[in-house]
Structure 1
Amino acid sequence: MPWQNNGGNGDRPNPWGGGGSGGRNEPPQFDDFIKKGQDQLKSAMPGGAGGVVLIVLVMIALWLASGLYRVETNEQGVVMRFGKYVDSTAPGLHWHLPYPIETVEVRGVTDEQTIEIGVRGASNRSESLMLTSDENIVDVRFNVVWRIADLGNYLFNLADPQQTVKSVAESVMRELVGKERITPIITTARGTLQSDALLEMQNILDTYESGITVLRVQIIESEAPDEVKDAFLDVQRAEADQQRLMNEAEQYRNRIIPEAKGRAQQLVNQAEAYKAEVVARATGESARFLSVYEQYVAAKDVTRKRLYLETMEEILAGMDKIVIDGDAGSGVVPYLPLDQLTKKKSEGEE
């Protein structure tokens, strides 16, 4: 038994030191109990009260030392006092007021994080379906790669950083796709979309003071939805044929127009040359006529006879000629073979 019987009355004694008699129990003396405990504690410690002080000082020193913390080169630290932001700390050894006054949050800020939007097999596939400027639907799947730039803003200005980045990325991509036609989006405009989306996302996140840096926007795939892909490919082929025919027509135009201009210029040049020739000939003929006319006025008979002879010489130049003197009489006809003389002269020159 934990408590011994006192006498034969069968009554259990008071465990607080007040033994009963005649069945009467006294209330416990709490002051005596506390005093007795203090005495026992003092007797157990070396040096009495000085030992208590030493232990208290050691405990305080350990408590203060618990405020030491290290931030690595790829991390940032955030100090919070009773849960409120106080300061951001760079890599190195630091100290803060120990718990529960201040706490510190240390996270890596160089680690890249990726958010996928519109990936195949996702439950919400509609997030990748976007409307283009020519009222077509395009399926755009892309990734956003980002990291923490300012841990303080990241922790205290965003309730859900992951969802915020995703919502901003989807909103920006929808806006950019809505300004483009579907053909460039699925062919040549991917690079432009990626760079424009990165800049626009960063601007929006900076206005939120999110403490996030967007590193890359990567378009994985952009194509027409599966339900209309075959029809769209037919349209795309028709547009390609149209563009090819337009290019061929443009090449023909570029070839035929210079040729036509060259021929036109040639005709103009020939006309100008003919004009100059006709004018020059007419001017010469006019000058010659005026010269003859002046000679005719000065000596009419001589000029008339000279013109007659020149004209006859020109008319009879290629003909066989016989000259008969009309005044020679009817008996003897003088004969002068001019054609033979001309022929002999020509043979002698040869």
Structure 2
Amino acid sequence: MSWNEPGGGNNSRDPWGGGNQGPPDLDEALKKLQQRLGGLFGGSKGGGGGGGGASASFFIVLLLGAAIVWALMGLYQIDEQERAVVLRFGKYHSTARPGLQWNPPLIDEVIRVNTTKVRAASFREIMLTQDENIVEVKMSVQYIIDDVKNYVLQVREPENSLQQAAKSALRHVVGGMTMDLVLTEGRTRIATEVDDRLQDYLTSYTTGIRLSAVNVDDSKPPSQVQAAFDDVIKAREDEERVKNEAQSYANGIVPEARGQAQRQIEEASAYREQVIAKAEGEADRFSNLLAAYRKAPVVTRERLYLDAVQNVLANTSKIMVDVEGGNNVMYLPLDKLGTSTTPTRGGAPMSINTSNIRELTDAVTEQLRRDAAAQQARRGGR
């Protein structure tokens, strides 16, 4: 006979203490558990207190529901472009990466930061340049969050720190440049130098910010001096215009002057060669004439005389001929002889040239000599 058969004599061996009862009832076990919990929380331990058991059961259900809600509150999703800083009791615990995460709520604090979003900050500053002029520069800075932990924990206001550091870097760079450079082609140089200097500042401050781009949007003089600056710009433009005109004039006149100088140099060289050649020719002619004179002095002297007379008569239109021993002076109208024409044997007119004049002069001279010799002979005969 088994220990739980009815009528058995070993009822004391029932592990549930139920005597002649059947298998243990679940309701009875739950009631006992409720009684024990009720005793722990100040409830009645007696089986007759139905109201205490109901309140304890409600409390347990409420406690279990709160635990479930608390556990569900710890679940969260981190997007791919985000990172999260986990603080446990206010102290850094870890950095959560993309995916489904769970942290105990009310114990851990999760701070999410978008690390791929490009943020921008812009500002406008009035500052002094190296040549003690005032300029107004507008600059914009683009950046992303590179280190989430430093961005959240190391600096209280990272954006404000970025603004102050950017202004400091801009003042340092602009303060080392002239106003003309800042207002004209120096913008790219300003952006590059500010980028390098500002990134060094942000790294030393452990802000967790990495710069993407630095742009100088505008640079101009302050509005208070805009009119004076416009006058300066106009004067500078006039200066450039005058310079360009002068350069254009120089480009036109300098090559011409160089050409004239080269032409004069060539003419001088040609004149030198001409003078040298003429001098050498005269020297050679004199040498030849000297040799001829040594061979026939009388003929050569007569020939030289005739050449000299010819050169003289070629430049005058009137000749007075005086024969030694004669009383008559002959006048030769060479201007009329040079322009008149004389008939030839064929009847055709022929102009008188230098050779004809020379022949005529020789003939006249010879005739005058003959007349003078005859007259002298007649005087001697007397």
Q: What residue is the counterpart of 1:75 in the other structure?
A: 82
Instruction: Establish whether residue 276 from structure 1 lines up as the match of residue 316 from structure 2.
Output: no
- Indicate if the aligned counterparts of 1:76 and 1:151 stay in contact, CA closer than 8 A: yes
What is the Cα deviation at residue 105 of structure 1? Answer: 3.0
Unaligned runs of 5+ in 2: 1-37, 47-51, 55-59, 311-353, 376-382
Which amino acid counterpart does residue 204 of structure 1 have in structure 2?
Y
The 1:280/1:157 distance shift into structure 2, 3 A limit, reads farther
Of 182, 203, 207, the match for 2:200: 203
- The alpha-carbon deviation at position 309 of structure 1 amounts to 2.9
Q: Say which SS state the counterpart of residue 165 (structure 1) adopts.
A: helix
For residues 308 and 39 of structure 1, what CA distance do their matches in structure 2 show?
181
The structure number with the bigger radius of gyration is: 2
Which residue, 259, 262, 286 being the options, matches 2:259?
262
Cα distance between partner residues in 1 of 2:246 and 2:178 = 24
Q: Name the SS of the counterpart of 2:206 in structure 1.
A: coil
Name the SS for the 1:180 alignment partner: coil
Task: Indicate the SS of the match to 2:142.
Answer: strand
Q: CA deviation at 1:174?
A: 1.6
Equivalent pair of 1:79/1:96 in contact (CA under 8 Å) = no
Q: 1:247 aligns with which of 227, 244, 268?
A: 244
Write the deviation string for residues 284-319 of structure 1: whole angstroms up to 9, x where unpaired: 3223333443455xxx24265246436625754542
Structure 1 position 309 matched with structure 2 position 303:
yes
CA contact (8 A) 1:96 1:103 kept: no
Q: SS of 2:296's equivalent?
A: helix
Cα pair distance change 1:288/1:89, threshold 3 Å:
farther
Report the Cα distance in structure 2 between the residues aligned to 1:35 and 1:106, rounded to whole angstroms. Answer: 41
Q: Aligned residues, how many?
A: 276
Q: Contact 1:96 / 1:102 at 8 angstroms: preserved in 2?
A: no
Inter-partner Cα distance in structure 1 for 2:137 and 2:112: 36
1:167-246 correspondence runs (5 A):
167-246=164-243
- In the aligned structure 1, how far is the partner of 2:282 from the partner of 2:94? 109
Q: Tell me the percent identity.
A: 29
Kindly tell me: are residues 250 and 33 of structure 1, through their superposed partners in 2, closer, same or farther at Cα, counting changes over 3 Å?
same
1:142-163 residue CA offsets vs partner (Å, 9 max, x unmatched): 3322221221222233221011
Deviations 1:25-78 (A, max 9, x none): xxxxxxx954975979xx979xxxxxx9xx99xx79x85x87665432211233
Preserved CA contact (<8 Å) 2:292 2:300: no
State yes or no: 1:153 paired with 2:160: no
CA contact (8 A) 1:68 1:93 kept: no
Counterpart secondary structure, 2:176: coil
Letter paired with 2:245 = E
1-side partners of 2:150 and 2:42: how far apart? 56
Deviation at 1:171, TM superposition (A): 1.2
Where do residues 1-350 of structure 1 align in structure 2 (5 Å cutoff)?
34=40, 69-80=76-87, 83-85=90-92, 87-90=94-97, 92-93=98-99, 98=104, 103-118=109-124, 128-294=125-291, 296=293, 300-302=294-296, 305-306=299-300, 308-309=302-303, 312=306, 315-316=309-310, 317-318=354-355, 319=357, 320-323=360-363, 324=366, 330=374
Task: Please give the alpha-carbon distance, in whole angstroms, between the structure 1 residues aligned to 2:151 and 2:44.
Answer: 52
Task: Evaluate the alpha carbon distance shift between residue 157 and residue 280 of structure 1 in structure 2; reply closer, same or farther with a 3 A threshold.
Answer: farther
Larger RCO (alpha carbons 8 Å, 6+ apart)? 1
TM-score (norm 1): 0.62
- Unaligned 5+ segments in structure 1 are 1-31, 46-51, 119-127, 332-350
Residue range with higher mean Cα deviation, 229-238 or 306-315: 306-315
Distance 1:211 1:312 in 2: 116
C-alpha deviation, 1:79, in angstroms: 4.2
> TM-score if structure 2 supplies the norm length?
0.58
